[in-house]
Amino acid sequence: MIFISNKNKHGSLILPIISIFICVSDLTAQENEPSLLPLPLEEVRIFTEALDRIRMSYVEEIDDKTLLENAIKGMLSELDPHSAYVIENDYDALQETTTGEFGGLGIEVGREDGYIKVISPIDDTPADKAGIQAGDLIIQIDNTPTQQILPEEAANLMRGEPGTPVTVTIAREGLQPFDLTITREVITVTSVRSRLLEPGYIYLRISQFRVNTAAELERELEQALSGNEEVKGIVMDLRNNPGGVLQASVGVVDTFIDQGRIVYTEGRLEGNNMEFMATNKTLGSNIPMVVLINNGSASASEIVAGALQDHGRAIIMGTRSFGKGSVQTVMPLAEQRAIKLTTSLYFTPNGRSIQAQGIKPDILVENAFVTKRASNMSQVNESNLPNRLDNANDTNEVSDEMSNTLISAEEVLVTDYPLNEALNVLKGINAFTPRQTQNDTDAFAQRIVN
């Protein structure tokens, strides 16, 4: 339909378009494409009549191409929040976000109650540094109201030349709406980062799932495993990870399990029914593992968390995830034009659909502040008592922690509470290692999950 154009500005489009619909239906039926239903001619007649009246009576003259493209946008936007008609700049943006380099703020957005909702800011981007949070509503972009506009249109408004400013108006629960003026940058996303939390405990942060994420993870993990320190546990942080490429999430799970199903999808067409299985290419199949999630963990993040949870491979901690359990397929139509269409739902290995439900963590851990309390001046220990007996092992030194009682009541230690809790869980699992075999330790971790 997008190629239809009538040069006669005073003629009717009704009969030509109906004829084209019928011809397209006949041709497609001859090609034996599945699931093609006969076109409802009465609804087609109403559509073409509406189109013709808009052309003839709208307050300003509007060309047929624009009307037809708007019709396609309307068809897709009313299906679900993730289906869209992608053209020109939006098409380029879609390509850029897949490869990992683009100009803008670094926000993954969706739609809620007619407004643009932040699924999550991307790590170390202008949006992240400005303090934008998952769950924020963007109600204006450079004084342009965002009510009823599509997420792709909002993303396009926020993109632009690096170094140029854009002002977004944020609505956040419990606060009055406020403006943030943020300078655009070239967003080059490194999707995997790692560091050592403590000797033997690795932190892996995955900010988004891109085509090369699994390879990046393997490199980071191989480097950590090749060190002299024994690896006792891994924390994989998927908080505020908005998802990305399905195959990348499969590759990440495959790094930690060596058999079984990872994820499967179901759609109307046979080609959309896929199943992904683990291979024996596994780097860390026996290392105790905790996965952190929150409301900003969506799509591919939920595939990873759900698969590792179903396999009993990791303990999932944090808060319930976003709940995007659908798969979108990009279908090119012409040069710089495509349909991004929801074609299937994905399911975890045990058959759970995450759509509008999310992943429920094994251990609920809300985000919080950790405050260090001042020591009690009245506290004494055996070592402080007069005429006490000496230590039987000739160890009479008292640690600095015990002797240093003067700590300011205003001294506050603010840390990542869920991350600390994840580390404590891994330490708890490893505390049983000296008394049990590694298989027993793995069984203990399985019991915690169940």
R_g over Cα of the chain: 28
**Can you tell me the distance from the alpha carbon of 424 to that of 366, in angstroms, rounded to the nearest whole number?**
15
What is the greatest pairwise CA distance in the chain?
110
DSSP type of residue 226: T
Phi and psi for 104 in degrees, rounded to 5?
Answer: 170, -145
Pairwise CA distance, residues 203 & 224, whole Å: 10
What residues are paired with 180 via a beta bridge?
168
Angle between helical axes of 246-254 and 300-310 (0-180°, round to 10): 30
Alpha-carbon distance of 362 to 19, in angstroms, equals 58
Chain-centre distance of CA 350, in angstroms? 21
Name the helix (H) or strand (E) containing 103. strand 101-104
Q: Where are the alpha helices (DSSP H) in 234-314?
A: 246-254, 300-310
> Checking DSSP bridges between strand 165-171 and strand 178-183, what pairing results, if any?
antiparallel
Distance CA 306, CA 52 (A): 50
H helices of 188-263, where? 213-225, 246-254
Please state, in angstroms and rounded to a whole number, the distance separating the CA atoms of residues 383 and 225.
Answer: 42
Taking residue 20's Cβ as centre, other Cβ atoms within 10 Å add up to: 16
> What are the backbone dihedrals phi and psi of residue 220, each rounded to the nearest 5 degrees, phi first?
-65, -40
Would you please indicate which residues are annotated as catalytic (active-site) residues? 299, 310, 324
What is d(CA 4, CA 64) in angstroms, rounded to the nearest whole number?
8
In angstroms, rounded to a whole number, what is the distance separating the alpha carbons of residues 15 and 94? Answer: 36
End-to-end CA distance of the chain: 53
Contact status, residue 82 vs residue 340, Cβ threshold 8 Å: yes
